[in-house]
Amino acid sequence: MEKSIPTTSGKLTDSRRKFIEKAGLAAVMGTFGVAFFTSCSSTDDADPGNGNNTGNPGQSGGITVSGNTIRIDLTIQTRLASSGGWLLIQDARALVANINGSYVAMTSVCTHSGCSDSWSFANSRFTCTCHGSVFDSAGKVLQGPANAPLALFTASVNGTTLTVTK
């Protein structure tokens, strides 16, 4: 025998209540499921698999951070050896790239709203994937919403060591 629970519009049987609960759960899963997969999709758009992010330079081969100085061993961080290679050094909040054999370095703290760990790099341009601002190799804004340049750091090579000074 089914139990009845009171509702404002009368009585609701257990089977009807269970149906409504399942329907509600399905609606919630549908809503959040879409959001979840959309989120995963946009993460994929940020190209997390490109291997350019170094979240912990202290443990990432060839990168040491001491105060405002970042030293990168180019024999270990070989991705910087050729033009188009780049690094996002998250702990130091720095972007470093090889552009036609010259190195550029600048802050990874976007001047739009401060994202510092969502960047891509192509055609000598850094793109903050938080909201799409694009900066040239001198940190100048090419496309908003950012409206101020990225602060440049100095980058110099001595032997096989690239030193970035913030």
- What residues make contact with ligand FES under the rule CB under 6 A? 110, 112-115, 128, 130-133, 145-146
Which CB atom, from 77 or from 129, has the smaller least distance to ligand FES? 129
Selection from 139, 138, 159, 157 nearest residue 149 by Cα: 139
Q: Where are the beta strands (DSSP E) in 46-140?
A: 53-54, 63-66, 69-73, 86-89, 94-99, 102-107, 119-122, 125-128, 133-135
Q: How far is the CB of 150 from ligand FES (least distance, A)?
A: 10
The CA distance from 158 to 154, in Å, is 13
Q: How far is the CB of 116 from ligand FES (least distance, A)?
A: 9
- Identify whether the C-beta of residue 46 lies closer than 8 Å to the C-beta of residue 118: yes
Which CB atom, from 17 or from 112, has the smaller least distance to ligand FES? 112
The CA distance from 42 to 6, in Å, is 45
Q: How far is the CB of 112 from ligand FES (least distance, A)?
A: 3
List 128's β-bridge partners, or say none: 119, 133
Q: How far is the CB of 153 from ligand FES (least distance, A)?
A: 18
Which CB atom, from 113 or from 154, has the smaller least distance to ligand FES? 113
The CA distance from 152 to 139, in Å, is 7
Which CB atom, from 109 or from 157, has the smaller least distance to ligand FES? 109
Q: How far is the CB of 139 from ligand FES (least distance, A)?
A: 13
Which CB atom, from 125 or from 131, has the smaller least distance to ligand FES? 131
What are the phi and psi torsion angles at 89 (to 5°)?
-100, 95
